[in-house]
Amino acid sequence: MNNMKRFIIFGLGGAVLLFAGCAALGRKPKEDRHISVQVEESFKQRWIEQRGAELMRQGLTPDVARSRAIEEFRQRYEFTSAARE
């Protein structure tokens, strides 16, 4: 009878450790949407600045160059949330 109690106690303890480990390993970290939005917005700003500078070198005024760069960004990267803003 004493061996049976040990077997049950060790069996339950092992099962708890096994299932607790599986639950901890199976969790996926939550995706932080704020980071992806920040990255897209940063990319948008840099792209518009660079494209606007290119267009100004071609002879466009700063206002027209920026407007055209924004429109080109929206067309080229329409799949991003930054382009939809």
> Could you report the per-residue pLDDT of 28-41, keeping only the tens digit for each?
666 667 888 899 99
Which pLDDT band, with edges at 50, 70 and 90, does 12 fall under?
A: low
Estimate to the nearest angstrom the gap between the alpha carbon of 83 and the chain centroid: 16
pLDDT at 16 over 90: no
Here the tokens at position 26 are 């199976």
Task: Give the N- to C-terminal CA distance of the chain in Å, as an integer.
Answer: 72
- How much of the chain, in percent, has pLDDT values that exceed 90? 46
Q: What is the band of 13 on the pLDDT scale with cuts at 50, 70, 90? A: low
**What is the per-residue burial (b if ≥16 Cβ within 10 Å, else e) of 4-42?**
eeeeeeeeeeeeeeeeeeeeeeeeeeeeeeeeeeeebee
